Amino acid sequence: MQNLCQLLGENPYPGRGIFMGRTPNNQAVIAYFIMGRSENSRNRIFEYTEDGIRTKAFDESKMTDPSLIIYHPVRLLPNGLLVVTNGDQTDTIRDAIAEGHCYRHALTQRKFEPDGPNWTPRISGVLKPDGTYNLSILKSMDGDPNCCCRYFFEYDHPVPGTGHFIHTYQSDGAPLPSFQGEPRRVEIGPLTEAHELADPMWDSLNEDNKVSLYVRLINLETGAEDACVINKHM
């Protein structure tokens, strides 16, 4: 297994990332972060909503294009599923599940972001009430905008002390290279508060590019939750 903070510290631009796992003390955990290189991307914060979080412009007067950067990354659904994504496919998944479908059905309707030449992958995760979880990535085939590759990773028996981490870009570049391979298997220690994971993760992200981070813990025995948000713009 790899170390999550070490992976973050060694990568100047993983883009947006999702982490899901189970701690040794039986806490389900999710984390989601965003980074940015342009002024428009960096001009954002996470804000709590009734069912999760949304992205919001920090300075509305500097927002030039809200498409692809303003969305609800995290939504808790009425059936107890927690959905986290890097775009408006959060709502696509929510709507499909409300109609009796699964997250995979929802994502067959979507593809990578229309931001050539990067064709940024769409990454998504679904955490179930029992602590099992799924991850997915929709990306172009070697930068070909005519071919969308859809990958689904399902973890039905999460091992305590283990999590999985997926992100949009392998690293910085021009164009930005898409994530390759399976989600990274990383170790995770016992946690009692969200900040115990959020603080070292935030410190590991590239200082120039990091924008916002969200971490949520759910006690799988009691249902008790703890969450925190860290924004570069306070």
* CA 160 – CA 182 distance, rounded (Å): 19
Contact 103, 136 (CB under 8 A): yes
**pLDDT average per 10 residues of sequence, the chain (234 residues):** 97 98 97 96 97 97 93 97 98 97 97 97 97 98 96 96 98 95 97 98 98 98 96 92
Residues recorded for the chain: 234
pLDDT score for 11? 97
| Cα 171 off chain centre by | 16
Question: What is the DSSP secondary-structure string of 51-92?
Answer: TEEEEEESSGGG----TTTSS-SEEE-TTS-EEEESSTHHHH
Indicate yes or no: pTM above 0.95. Answer: yes
Q: How would you classify residue 68: left for phi > 0, otherwise alpha for psi between -120 and 50, otherwise beta?
A: left
Position 201, amino acid: M
| pLDDT for residue 234 | 79
Predicted confidence at residue 162, as pLDDT, reads 98
Output DSSP code: residue 232.
S
